[in-house]
Structure 1
Amino acid sequence: MIEKINLNNILFLDIETVPETEDFNSLDSELQELWQQKTQYQRKDDYSAEEFYDRAGIWAEFGKIVCISVGYFANKSEIRNFRVTSFFGEEATILKDFNNLLNNHFNQAQNLLCGHNIKEFDIPFLARRMIINNITIPNKLNLFGKKPWEIPHLDTLELWKFGDYKHYTSLKLMCKVLGIPSPKGDIDGSQVGQVYYVDKDIDRIITYCEKDTIAVAQIFLRLRQESLLIEDEIIHV
C-alpha cells in the first residue's frame, strides 16, 4: 500500500531530452542511414528522415539529456518540506551528478524513485545514456536479475492504470482530473529541442522540468488521499 511508504524515502524525478545534434545534417552519414532505418515505421511516407529528426530526443540512441529535475520530501513531524533541484550542463556531467546523488543519498533498500511513465521512458533513457557515456549504472537503475517486486521504482502512470495495461494518461490530464494545478507552462515537450538549440534558454527548460517533478509529487499525494503541497512548502535549491 502506497499509504505506508515514508515520503522521505522517495526521490521524484523528471528528465528533459533533445536530439543529440541540432539538425539531421550534423549526423555522420552512417548515423543518418541508421536514423532512416530506425524511424521508417513511424515516418511511413508522411515525413522524410530529415523532417522527422526533431523527434530524435525520444530515442536514447539519437537523443541526449539536457536536464534532470529531482524533488524529495524532508518532512519533520507535522511540517512538510519538498525540496526541488536540477542538474544541467554537459550530459556527462548531468549524469555523473545524478549518479552521485543516488549513490550517496538514495541508495538504501527503502529508497524509491518515482516519476510519470518512468518505467517506459525516464529509467531506460537514463540507463542507456549512462552506458553510452561510460558511466557505471547505479544500483537504483540497474534492473538486471531483479524480480518485479524488487524493482525500486514507483510509476504514477502505472499506479493510475490499476492493472489496465492498455490505458495511457498524460501527466497533464492526470493533473486536470485530480484537481492539481497544471505543471505545463509556456512550452511543451515537443518544443524543448527548439528552446535548447535555437533559443538557448536552459533556464526555461529547467523551470518546465521542475514543474513536472512537482506535479508527480502532487499526483502521488492525491493517490494517497493526502492534501496537496502549497507554495510555501516547496523549496527550490
Structure 2
Amino acid sequence: MIRSTSPFFGEVVCVGMRWLKGDGTHRDNVICESNEHDTLERFFDVVNHESAQSVRFVHYNGLGFDIPFLIIRAAHHGTKITNQKFTDLRRFSYKSHIDLMQFLANWDFRGRVSFDIACRSFGIPSPKEGKVTGATVGKAFKERNLEGIKQYAMEDVKATHKLFEKLRDYIS
C-alpha cells in the first residue's frame, strides 16, 4: 500500500501478494517491515528469487501505477531488481504482466473503470468497502494502523485473484 500517488512524494508501506502454485494452491503474504527500504528489500528478495523468474505478475492497473511506483521507490533506495520480467513494462503484452484493467479496457484509456466497479460488475466483493481503503492508507499509517493496512492489502490481493479467475480463460 502506498501513502501517495507520486513515487517522488510517497512511500511504500506494505506489499500484498498471492503466489499461485502449480498444484492449484496458493500462498499469501503481506510484506510490511518497519521502514520502506526493508519492505522493498524483502519484496524484491521474493521477486528476484529464481522460482519467480518464470511467473507472470497479475494486477489491476499495475502497469499504470503499482509497478512503476515500486520500481522508482526501489531505485530511490538502491534496491536491486534482477527479475527482468518484473521490469518489462511493455504495453499490449501479457508475457510478463497481466494488467486486468488494461485487458478489460482493451488497452484503451477511455474504457478503463475503477477496480471497485470491475469487482462489482463480476460479483466480487470490493476491497474498497473496508475500514482502510487506498484513499485512507495515509491516515491509517499516521495512526500506526498497520494491521488495518495489511488487511486492506490482502483483501485487494484476494479480489484481484478472484477477478483473474473469472477472466483467465479469455486472456492469451
TM-score range, shorter chain: 0.7 to 0.9
Is the 1:71–1:82 Cα contact (8 Å) retained in structure 2?
yes
1:56-67 equivalences in 2 (<5 Å):
57-67=4-14
1:126 shift after superposition: 0.6
1:218 correspondence with 2:162: yes
1:180 shift after superposition: 1.0
Structure with more of its chain in helix, by fraction: 2
Could you list the runs of 5+ residues in structure 1 that have no partner in the other structure? 1-15, 19-56, 227-237
SS at match of 1:181: coil
1:211 shift after superposition: 0.5
1:225 shift after superposition: 5.9
Is the 1:102–1:140 Cα contact (8 Å) retained in structure 2?
no
Q: 1:143 to 1:201 in 2, by over 3 A?
A: same
SS at match of 1:169: coil
1:122 correspondence with 2:63: no
> Counterpart amino acid of 1:17?
I
Could you list the runs of 5+ residues in structure 2 that have no partner in the other structure? none
Q: 1:201 to 1:163 in 2, by over 3 A?
A: closer
In structure 1, the residue matched to 2:144 is 200
1:107 shift after superposition: 1.3
SS at match of 1:141: helix
TM-score of the aligned structures, taking structure 2 as reference length = 0.87
In structure 2, the residue matched to 1:74 is 21
In structure 2, the residue matched to 1:106 is 52
In structure 2, the residue matched to 1:142 is 87
> Counterpart amino acid of 2:105?
K
- The CA distance in 2 between the partners of 1:174 and 1:192, in whole Å, is 21
1:10-89 equivalences in 2 (<5 Å):
16-18=1-3, 57-76=4-23, 80-89=24-33
1:142 shift after superposition: 2.5
In structure 2, the residue matched to 1:96 is 41
- The CA distance in 2 between the partners of 1:150 and 1:171, in whole Å, is 19
Aligned length: 166
- The CA distance in 2 between the partners of 1:147 and 1:170, in whole Å, is 19
CA RMSD of aligned residues (A): 2.1
1:220-235 equivalences in 2 (<5 Å):
220-224=164-168
1:103 shift after superposition: 1.5
> Counterpart amino acid of 1:194?
K
Is the 1:116–1:157 Cα contact (8 Å) retained in structure 2?
yes
1:220 shift after superposition: 0.7
> Counterpart amino acid of 1:98?
F
Give me the identity figure in percent.
25
